[in-house]
Amino acid sequence: GAVVSQHPSWVICKSGTSVKIECRSLDFQATTMFWYRQFPKQSLMLMATSNEGSKATYEQGVEKDKFLINHASLTLSTLTVTSAHPEDSSFYICSASRDRGYNEQFFGPGTRLTVL
């Protein structure tokens, strides 16, 4: 149980285009989903936290107009990178929690984004 999937697992896009990444909790209802970004040999950096039906809370320094997060249901959250640029290339990881993260977050396998 507690499986989280991400789609796609990797994506290559041209500069200026938008890319949508999906995060799904497959066998539980996720009250809260988290989006992280990971640079090579760096730790995971929290980008934003989203509660189902509410606007996402973004961490300081993360552009909310560039990284659009939607958490429309208890099993699906999406991250859209708008007008992507090469500096947005990274590994994006989502996690989901049944209880707003108090006890455990369950992580997806990540999505590798490369912007040409």
Partner 1 sequence: GNSVTQMEGPVTLSEEAFLTINCTYTATGYPSLFWYVQYPGEGLQLLLKATKADDKGSNKGFEATYRKETTSFHLEKGSVQVSDSAVYFCALSDGGSQGNLIFGKGTKLSVKP
| Interacting residue ranges for partner 1, rule: CB under 8 A | 4, 6, 32, 34, 41-44, 46, 49, 57, 93, 95, 97, 100-110
Contacts of 35 (CB under 8 A, 6+ apart): 23, 46, 47, 48, 49, 50, 67, 69, 77, 79, 92, 93, 94
Q: Is the peptide bond before 40 cis (omega within 30 degrees of 0)?
A: no
Question: Which of 62/82 has CB closer to partner 1?
Answer: 62
For residue 5, give both structure tokens: 């999937």
Residue 97 Cβ, how far from partner 1 at the closest point, in Å?
Answer: 7
Question: Which of 44/62 has CB closer to partner 1?
Answer: 44
Question: Which of 63/99 has CB closer to partner 1?
Answer: 99
Residue 66 Cβ, how far from partner 1 at the closest point, in Å?
Answer: 21
Question: Which of 59/63 has CB closer to partner 1?
Answer: 59
Residue 84 Cβ, how far from partner 1 at the closest point, in Å?
Answer: 23
Phi/psi for 88 (5° steps) reads -85, -10
